[in-house]
Structure 1
Amino acid sequence: MTDRDWDAELKKIDAEMAKQASRPAPAPSRAPAAPSAPSGGGASAGVAGGMPGFGAPAAPATSSFGVYARLTLAVAIGVGIIFWPYANRCGLGLAGYLGAVSAVVVSGAWSAVWTFRHRAGRAHVLSLLLVLWGLILASLDVLPRIGYAKPTVEHPAAWACE
């Protein structure tokens, strides 16, 4: 065994932690953080790797307004596509409709990225459902035209109008 006095060592650590806790937090800087070197998984990787007050800056606080604004826009596009006012059986009308459906998918994905980044679980699920909704709408028009699904009166097999 070693001749170390562990009680004294732990008292020093406690005193240092008390000093750290009593110091005010430094103001976050607006300068971009320098990239850190990849750690080899050593014992010091956990200390400086993200604990506030130990070398790594804390993540900036953000509001959820932007997240829910994006989600609201995506939901509005997803609901609005149900009320598509133009003919979309063939030709340019079909191209415009498929473009709008792709906007549903892109807006759902855009919202899903932001809801995932901001840890908004229910909003993320709704965003993923919007992506699925857009893919379903696209498949209803594309699959009969490529020969995978059975054509109907609303969804004929032809891309162009005759």
Structure 2
Amino acid sequence: MSKNWDAELAKIDKQLASISDEQLLATSQGAGGPGAGAQGAAGGVTRATQTRALPAGGAAPAPAATVSAGRSWVAWLKVIVAVGAAAGLMFWPWPARCGTPLIGFTAATGGVALLGIWSAVGTWRHRLGLAHVASLLVTVWGIGLGAREVLPRVGYAVPTEARAATWSCEGASLTSPTTDSTQPTTPL
């Protein structure tokens, strides 16, 4: 029972070529989804069969792409929230060198990364290219700022004065290097 697939595919191609693009598009939308037009041409589904499958009102259901296209403003709103949160990290009000402020800042960077992923999913679904790139940049920004704080404390990066090797404030000097009281001051 081996079939000659080349002959079968040639027959399907011939049937598809005999139908105009407008008819094929109308058939696929009327049947409820893409690919149904090809199935109708090749699989024996007729127009009468398709009209029986319609709802009682007689109107064809709207394709999913048209329903979600009107809500792209929601995806843009998600991007604006994510970008606002990422920009807010630049104005973090507390010094995040150690202790609770450091843990709060690190959690905020993780939150920004999650907001970026959340908005990236929405922009991907709505096929919004520029908004998707912005979402991915927010994600990278959140991960980068979090890594800048975490990596020296887990021993992967070189600790500096601003980013010590410990999470706690014990033994860490809380004064800035320019206002350190142990350095002698010279009169002007």
Answer yes or no: same fold by TM over 0.5: yes
C-alpha displacement at 1:83, in angstroms?
0.5
Aligned to 2:89: 81
> Gaps (5+ residues) in structure 2?
1-14, 41-46, 54-60, 171-188
- Within 1, Cα distance between the matches of 2:132 and 2:36? 35
1:116 aligns with 2:124: yes
Aligned to 1:66: 74
Instruction: Specify the structure having the higher radius of gyration (Cα).
Output: 2
Greater share of residues in helix: 2
C-alpha displacement at 1:57, in angstroms?
5.6
Aligned to 1:142: 150
Which of 34, 39, 43 is the equivalent residue of 1:47?
39
- Within 1, Cα distance between the matches of 2:84 and 2:133? 16
- Within 2, Cα distance between the matches of 1:106 and 1:121? 19
- Within 2, Cα distance between the matches of 1:44 and 1:75? 41
Letter in 2 for 1:137: L
C-alpha displacement at 1:45, in angstroms?
9.0
**Counterpart secondary structure, 2:163:** coil
**Counterpart secondary structure, 1:124:** helix
TM-score between both structures, scaled by the size of structure 1: 0.67
Letter in 1 for 2:63: A
Q: How many residue pairs are counted as aligned between the two chains?
A: 129
Aligned to 2:160: 152
Aligned to 1:132: 140
C-alpha displacement at 1:47, in angstroms?
2.9
TM-score between both structures, scaled by the size of structure 2: 0.59
Kept in 1, the 8 Å contact 2:68–2:126? The answer is: no
Letter in 2 for 1:62: A
C-alpha displacement at 1:103, in angstroms?
1.1
Q: Once the two structures are aligned, what percentage of the paired residues are identical?
A: 38
